[in-house]
């Protein structure tokens, strides 16, 4: 059964109500003038008093008053204050995922549902309130083809288009790009023709109908969805009642340049799109950052050797700062492709060399998910990590302790199989690598998921922080 939308979108935004009131006053004044009473100046409508509270601000964001959120002055200060203060207020509630193996990707669908992809090639929706899990059928290639991937590699990427009407992820064959319609999650199309020859590791939407995928085969592919395919609200079905979807091919395929230092490891690991500059950033496992101009095709602009080139597995972009952030084995590096010399020094995670496994930007705060089961928060303006606050006492007020604010995730579930017993000595607990996290800012919630870092171990972790 397809997940249902919540009802919060039906409420009318205060900003829209105010606009409607102003319009009706203007109409009344015009009507009076037309009745022969002479030209009347309409009364200047009173501006509603500013509601200076964090609650009203967040409620305004919840019902869609996005234009106000970026305004300077008090609104901007309040927004920045909320972003800065939220991490220290978050508390964890673990979610049970049964025996699923390692959650690699996640995205919020609405206020209570998150869609996830796993190493065991399962696409599912979890209700964060009830804990209910709904599995989504994967799309199947038209034919077996010469390059079907091993089923154990899993779903590494899930992305929603800007209008949240389409979802792109991997298919049953992880080399293929699958696109579903939202909110019904009906299948739309499958990119299984002349596309990637190895697993898809990353996806980025350039517009509502254009997506780019990055693969372990060292290529990036640009896909264009035909609007006629998904404008209908009812999915096609064949005689047996099974959904029917289109099979598409990429409009452009570009190969990552071969580095002289590590020519055999050009695997594309992460993508991030700059809507402001219409540019696509990519990170490859040979230690390079690549930038393309994104139009109807991809035109490569540059390739930069990264300062830390081991295990570069995640990438994010901040439009407000025009800045890319790359996560590696022990650092996060910041890149502004327009600056010859980078002014922001890399941050060191110092989490036992387990690496940075997930990254996200929101305003000036970078959230870092590590391979050691912890979340860190970095203020890029101050160029330092957020710090823990001491609890106030009768003799002292609350203040920074000098210790890095670190949220440690729960134990999750670990399969105590023969491999765990024979190769890991039956160690009772393994910290979970946090492979994915995503914020629901209007609700001030953070979904975090992952699983044990060693590739042979089978387990999972998912938690709602609110």
Give dist(CA 381, CA 367) in Å, integer: 14
- Tell me which residue has tokens 């992820």: 169
At 179-204, the pLDDT tens digits run 999 999 999 999 998 899 999 999 99
What is the DSSP code string of 254-315?
EEPPPPSSSTT---EEEEEEETTTTEEEEEETTTEEEEEEESSSEEEEEEEE-SS-S---EE
Say what percent of the chain tops pLDDT 70. Answer: 73
Q: Among 95-104, 189-198, 253-262, name the most confident range.
A: 95-104
Average pLDDT over residues 130-156: 79
Query: pLDDT tier at 340 (50, 70, 90 boundaries)?
Result: confident
**Omega before 183 within 30 of 0, i.e. cis:** yes
> Which residues are 369's β-sheet partners?
358, 375
- Identify the residue with better confidence: 354 or 246: 246
Q: How confident is the model at residue 351 (pLDDT cuts 50, 70, 90)?
A: low
Q: Decide: residue 171, CB within 10 A, 0-12 exposed, 13-18 middle, 19+ buried.
A: buried
Average pLDDT over the chain, rounded to an integer = 80
Q: What would the pLDDT profile of 435-446 be if each residue is shown by its tens digit?
A: 999 999 888 999
Q: What is the pTM of this model?
A: 0.80
pLDDT tens digits along 24-79: 343 333 333 333 434 334 444 444 454 455 555 444 544 333 444 444 566 667 77
Instruction: Report the distance separating Cα 451 and Cα 368, nearest Å.
Output: 16
């Amino acid at each position: 059964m397809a997940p249902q939308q919540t009802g919060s979108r039906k409420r009318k935004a205060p900003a829209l109500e105010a606009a409607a009131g102003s319009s009706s006053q203007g109409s009344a004044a015009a009507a009076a003038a037309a009745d022969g009473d002479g030209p009347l100046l309409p009364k200047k409508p009173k501006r509603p008093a500013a509601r200076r509270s964090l609650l009203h601000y967040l409620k305004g964001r919840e019902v869609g008053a996005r234009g106000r959120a970026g305004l300077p002055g008090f609104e901007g200060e309040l927004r920045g204050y909320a972003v800065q203060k939220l991490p220290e207020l978050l508390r964890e509630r673990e979610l049970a995922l049964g025996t699923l193996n390692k959650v690699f990707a996640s995205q919020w669908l609405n206020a209570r549902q998150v869609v996830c992809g796993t190493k065991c090639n399962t696409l599912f929706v979890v209700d964060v309130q009830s804990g209910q899990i709904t599995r989504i059928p994967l799309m199947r290639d038209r034919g077996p083809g010469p390059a079907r991937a091993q089923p154990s590699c899993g779903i590494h990427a899930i992305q929603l288009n800007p209008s949240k009407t389409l979802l792109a992820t991997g298919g049953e064959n992880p080399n293929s790009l699958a696109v579903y319609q939202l909110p019904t999650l009906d299948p739309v199309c499958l990119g299984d023709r002349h596309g990637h020859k190895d697993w898809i590791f990353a996806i980025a939407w350039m517009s509502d109908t254009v997506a780019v995928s990055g693969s372990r085969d060292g290529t990036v592919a640009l896909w264009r969805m035909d609007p006629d395919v998904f404008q209908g609200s009812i999915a096609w079905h064949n005689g047996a009642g099974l959904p029917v979807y289109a099979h598409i091919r990429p409009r452009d395929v570009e190969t990552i340049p071969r580095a002289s230092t590590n020519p055999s490891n050009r695997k594309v690991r992460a993508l991030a799109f700059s809507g402001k500059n219409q540019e696509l950033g990519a990170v490859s496992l040979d230690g390079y950052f690549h930038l393309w101009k994104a139009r109807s095709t991809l035109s490569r602009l540059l390739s930069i050797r990264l300062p830390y080139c081991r295990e570069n597995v995640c990438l994010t972009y901040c439009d407000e700062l025009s800045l890319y952030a790359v996560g590696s084995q022990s650092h996060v590096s910041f890149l502004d492709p327009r600056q010859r010399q980078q002014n922001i020094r890399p941050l060191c995670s110092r989490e036992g060399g387990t690496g940075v496994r997930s990254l996200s930007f929101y305003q000036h705060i970078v959230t870092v998910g590590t391979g050691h089961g912890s979340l860190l928060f970095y203020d890029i303006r101050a160029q330092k990590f957020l710090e823990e606050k001491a609890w106030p006492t009768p003799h002292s007020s609350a203040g920074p302790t000098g210790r890095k604010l670190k949220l440690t995730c729960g134990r999750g579930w670990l399969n105590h199989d023969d491999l765990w017993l024979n190769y890991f000595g039956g160690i009772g607990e393994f910290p979970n690598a946090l492979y994915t996290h995503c914020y629901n800012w209007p609700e001030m919630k953070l979904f975090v998921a992952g699983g044990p870092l060693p590739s042979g171990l089978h387990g999972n972790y998912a938690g709602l922080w609110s």
